[in-house]
Structure 1
Amino acid sequence: MDRRQLLATAALVAATPAVPLVAAAPAHAAPPSPTLPSRAAIVSVLRRVTDHWIGAHGNPGDNRWARATFFSGLTAVHRLTGERRYLDYARGWAERHGYGLNAGVTTRHADNHNAGQTYLDLYEIEPEPAKIAAIEDSLRRMVYTDRPQKNDDWWWDDALHMAMPPFARIGRLRNDTRFWEKLYGLYNHTKRVQGGPGLYAPSQGGLWYRDDRFLPGGILSPSGRPVLWSRGNGWVAAGHVKTLKTMPANAAHVQEYRDTLAQLVRALRPIQRADGFWNVNLADAAHLPGPETSGTAFFAYGTAYAAATGLVDAATYLPVAARAWNGMVATAVHPDGFLGYVQNVGDRPESSQPVNYGTTADFGVGAFLLAGTELAALAT
């Protein structure tokens, strides 16, 4: 199905929200339209949010996971718009850190590998070996020399976003499937082994626990329900999208990545709030209810990609992504481009509360930029 057919089909879908598995918190505004705005309208919002962040941050920041996620979104907006200022800002950040990794090339920590995504983006634009020397060296050590049989490094679900894409991209760049096999070994441990059963939860519709503290028998919400953290699942969705954008369709394990993303996207539809957002605890709408932008943005990104590539039915799921986007624009984007309702750094729904119109974070802005660029590709 091409883009025009996809949009025409989606336009036939009724705007009635899906019936939730758990009661959605009351919306504070009228439900947003499930109709995708024009490409120009999406790009206008992306520019406003991007320009606000850059204008407010003359110092581009460190090269850790949170700021690196912003830059992943920024390079996506550069690819969409061709805006030179965005490329210059991203290049300046990378050069400030010498295209290096936090903790150096011996690191095995997924958070430290996240910066490699932007270095690889910049390498694709202007291929210079020094740009990817550190990320390639670090991953190559894990694949070939530094305990290559050790696969328990990714013990939390955020790691899938931080490190799956660099392994996928270096493997493709070097035509070396050992990187893809290592990726799968790490991924499979997170999914099926970590904490005993793994963090993937088929009993919860294909959602994921953030880490093994939240597995059955562990931490529950105040009302005794499971804790399935929104942004944790958002990291999972984004990691799958970026990996699938890189790996050939016939490569080993790609079908599993496709199926897993599709299952997660299907699980999200019935628990989307009427205002387009998702709550911080996907399993308990009464647990700190309210809009939250970072998880919602990642879900819009994953859902848009899944609809565009046929992993899920476009007529059913493109309106889900459009409703999320329109809800964020109406509720979280300030007139000057500040992005609110972002839950700051944490590992569960209670982290960095309260979440409100004035709370933001670099990774939340990055997630929003990724969502918008994915949707702009589907708009006319």
Structure 2
Amino acid sequence: MTGTLPVGTEDLLRELAPQVLGTLVRRFGDFYTAEDALQEALLAAATQWQAEGLPDNPRGWLIQVAQRRMADAVRAEVARRRRETTVFERDVPDAEAVDRDDTLAMFFLCCHPALSGASAIALTLRAVGGLTTGEIAQAFLLPETTMAQRISRAKKRLSTLERPFARPSNAEWRERLGAVLHVLYLIFSEGHTTTSGPNLHRTDLSTEAIRLTRSIHRLLPEDNEVTGLLALMLLTDARRAARTGAHGELIPLAEQNRALWDRAAITEGVTLTTGTLSRGLTGPYQLQAAIAVLHAEALRPEDTDWPRILTLYTMIERMASNPMVTLNRAVAAAMVHGPAAGLELADTLDDRLAGNHRLDAVRGHLYEMAGDIDAAIASYTAAAGRTTSTPERDYLTIRAARLRRMPPQR
């Protein structure tokens, strides 16, 4: 076999990469060397599998190759010679390579209590989620250079600790759960609406986020926030087929063909969400899932229960203040009390969302609702100039152009 990789190999390598990294770090405790060894193993796989086809045990193959690379690196370091023969020359049994998935463990390991929450999330997104530094910076609304420094500092901080990647106890896993769920939410969000590039979706990221959240849900089925996050992802992803047109253009929620929504995913998401209600409304992911249920159950846009959605956003904001939650509450407030109420709330976000295109996009929508066409055009145009997503930019530009063509109102 020559010329191209076997079909599906790139997806397989993406799926196996965090598993192999987790295995190496768990066994040997050296994040930097494990990361370098993994990259070399992936390059070797891309070359050898193209010529020879897939090995019988791809994951075991990657672990063995990466382990040899780590052994080579350790031999070059005098300070680690004691581990050279006793640790790095061990073979990895095929049964362990196949049967144990270290991806989830890697999430928890990266969320070490010695790191701040923001640093742990950024490191995990880079090491396990596969996002670039630029994508992570977009998710955090920070410059890319700042995010690169944050990730570098996190790695350096971990390198000063003794056995920083020791497997956490069950109690420690619980303590780190909030950071892990936030990581999964950010990965899903980047997959659902990419921050840059020609496509609205990155299904590889959203699918992987759902897979990993399902795995955590199997471990913690009674946790409202785990269940809520999984439900939120399913209910949101159910709309994916209706969010873009024939040419990849963005279609907003109110204009989507709801017959294209994935009813099986909606049913599962609704079932998961309602199953948490007996334990009370306890967290923001569960509440966001409840909002997604209200959208999913509305057969037409005008059937949407906006008063209940506004109440739920108000509850979320009380639990965990966040400018994007406030922006969503502004939209709900406009739908319940009129666009002036929404614009008043949006105005409180000028400092917290300065330069963010979503604030301008929402303002454009609310000004359009209010009949202030000039202000709507200005806001849509500003939003289009600030987004790095091509589908979002095109949608906002077209929206402004359509308003310009409208006859003047008397």
TM-score between both structures, scaled by the size of structure 2: 0.33
> Relative contact order (alpha carbons < 8 A, sep ≥ 6): 1 or 2 greater?
1
Greater helix content? 2
TM-score between both structures, scaled by the size of structure 1: 0.35
When Rg is computed on C-alpha atoms for both structures, the one with the higher figure is 2
